[in-house]
Structure 1
Amino acid sequence: MPTYREVLKINEQYAIDNSKEDSGVKLLMLHFSKMNSSNLLLSMDEEIPTEIYQNFLYGVDRYIAKNIPVQHIIGYEEFYGHKFIVNGDVLIPRFETEELVANVLMYYDEVFGSTEVSVVDVGTGSGCLAVTLDIEENNMTLTATDISVDALRVAKINNRKLKGNVTFIEGDMLEPLKGMKFDILVSNPPYIPNEEYVEDLVIDNEPRVALFGGEDGLDFYKEIIRNAESILNDKYIIAFEHAYNKAKQIKKIIKKNLHDVEIIQKKDMQGKDRMTFVIKK
């Protein structure tokens, strides 16, 4: 049998030749070998066992030839140090969204100190935002909404598996939250313009309802910003993730609808305008 090193080298090149991320091949090897990165590194010159080899090759074929995301093959995505179950009913959590979590926790400390707050995640998908915030900050009580029953099913599984305590509500945007009040609103809503090109790996495997945000990609931001104060207390934080080229337009929508607020826009680690925060003290 070939060694782990030989198998990885051949299949990483296979991925590159087919315009796929070679990092996906390593993730598949880690999954099927049941090793962490350190152990795999130490085992690189050992022969790969037949069963692991066959399962790995099957996984690589699904990833490269059948265009299935690695996360769907292994069944999860790592997010903020936690394993979130993902499938075709939810958007796969992106690395950039981890930065939104970190910033929400930071602004919570600045604005609310260590006091107890009520937080809502609008359009929760896999639950990665709501469940992570619930786990990471004991003083946050989380509620999460989604219009998709199938997405909520996945989010509830993640909440249970990760020992979160999030309350989930089915419904469209802020509609199911009428009569409720929150201190922090977080949302990473669908933001791809309806006619914008989306690569096949995404469009073939992730739910359209979680991807597209109207003609300009801003429909859900407009709706949330227009109605946000109806479900927020006098002192609040709003936190959005958005497309890198929409920061100016979102700022304009905020200024039109919300007054006496501080607007903070931040770049992600790639230097792209990815996050907007609204603070009212």
Structure 2
Amino acid sequence: MMRYRDLLSEGKDRMVAAGQSDQAAMLLLNELCQKKDINLYMDMDEEVDPEIQTDYLEGIHRMEKGEPLGYVLGYENFYGYDFTVNENVLIPRPETEELTGQVLIQCDVLCEQIEHPVAFDVATGSGAIGITLSLENDQIDVFASDISREALETAYANNERLGGSVVFVQGDMLDPFISRNMHCDLLVSNPPYIPKNEKMDHSVVDYEPNVALFGGEDGLYFYRKIFQKADQVLNPGGVMCFEMGWDQGDRLKTLAAKFFPEAEVTVLKDINGKDRILIVQMEKEGTKHDHA
């Protein structure tokens, strides 16, 4: 008979042989066991459930070829919620959880000043940021946009299943909000920010949607697009929060200062000590922007 211990060992060996992390083998088996109320750590020497064995070995086969664990499982845990993910959306990262935490702090401040602050989640993907905001703070009215209809279908399904209250609009960055004459107190975005020619791991490039990864020649294309039109949607005294690449802090701070010379621009580091979050706090009375 095959025990869970043996099955896990086979999965780990195959992942290592394929040049992948053996940690994913452990995570996959644990998730499959949890679905059937099996405690993997307590039942390592028990006989394997045949269905789990089949699903596990199929998952290992997919991951050997480079497919990310989140796509194999069909979901990724984010801020304590399981979000459905598929080939139409990026798998949400821990860095984005940190961004969401900072945005929730900004929401608390806004809620002291405004009864129902409005938040825009721009380029929402799976909906992870916007839906989490709506679940964690029901005072916030959240609207989310994405250019991809397939991504919005995934986000909508996540919103329904998790009990979120996000309203979704389709279009390019801020355009769907501008065309509807909508305004916000908080704008959050994790836009595509990888420079076009940067070498990426094939498990990312081959499986995750490239439209959600690459941000032009220097990675800053979509920040410029948002900065250029932000004054058309952002209320006076509003705040913008962005995720960014670890090496983009100085350039983005300079870019934001050009567009919003009166704003307070802050770069925050992630848990690994790398520049990761840009916060732009606008002046209360609003300012003229130099679209440099």
* Category of TM-score, reference length = shorter chain: over 0.9
Instruction: Return the TM-score normalized by structure 1.
Output: 0.95
> Is the CA contact 1:145–1:170 (under 8 Å) kept in the aligned structure 2?
yes
Between the aligned residues of both structures, percent identity stands at 41
C-alpha distance in structure 2 between counterparts of 1:99 and 1:164, whole Å? 20
Aligned length: 280
C-alpha distance in structure 2 between counterparts of 1:28 and 1:278, whole Å? 39
Q: What corresponds to 2:98 in structure 1? A: 99
C-alpha distance in structure 1 between counterparts of 2:98 and 2:208, whole Å? 22
> Is the CA contact 2:111–2:139 (under 8 Å) kept in the aligned structure 1?
no
Q: What corresponds to 1:184 in structure 2? A: 186
Superposition pairs of residues 106-255 of structure 1, within 5 angstroms = 106-113=105-112, 115-178=115-178, 179-255=181-257
**Secondary structure, aligned partner of 1:278:** strand
**Alignment CA distance shift 1:88-1:6 (3 Å):** same
C-alpha distance in structure 2 between counterparts of 1:176 and 1:50, whole Å? 49
Q: Which runs of 4+ in 1 moved over 4 A?
A: 35-38
> Is the CA contact 2:107–2:140 (under 8 Å) kept in the aligned structure 1?
no
> Is the CA contact 1:239–1:276 (under 8 Å) kept in the aligned structure 2?
yes
Report the alpha carbon displacement of residue 45 of structure 1 after superposing the two structures with TM: 2.1
C-alpha distance in structure 1 between counterparts of 2:256 and 2:104, whole Å? 22
Instruction: Return the TM-score normalized by structure 2.
Output: 0.91
Aligned letter for 2:124?
A: T
**Secondary structure, aligned partner of 1:172:** coil
Aligned letter for 2:7?
A: V
RMSD: 1.7
1:209-264 CA-to-partner distances (Å, cap 9, x unmatched) read 10110000100001111221210110111000010000101001110011322212
**Secondary structure, aligned partner of 2:66:** coil
Report the alpha carbon displacement of residue 37 of structure 1 after superposing the two structures with TM: 10
Report the alpha carbon displacement of residue 2 of structure 1 after superposing the two structures with TM: 2.6
Report the alpha carbon displacement of residue 49 of structure 1 after superposing the two structures with TM: 2.4
Q: What corresponds to 1:86 in structure 2? A: 85
C-alpha distance in structure 2 between counterparts of 1:38 and 1:252, whole Å? 53
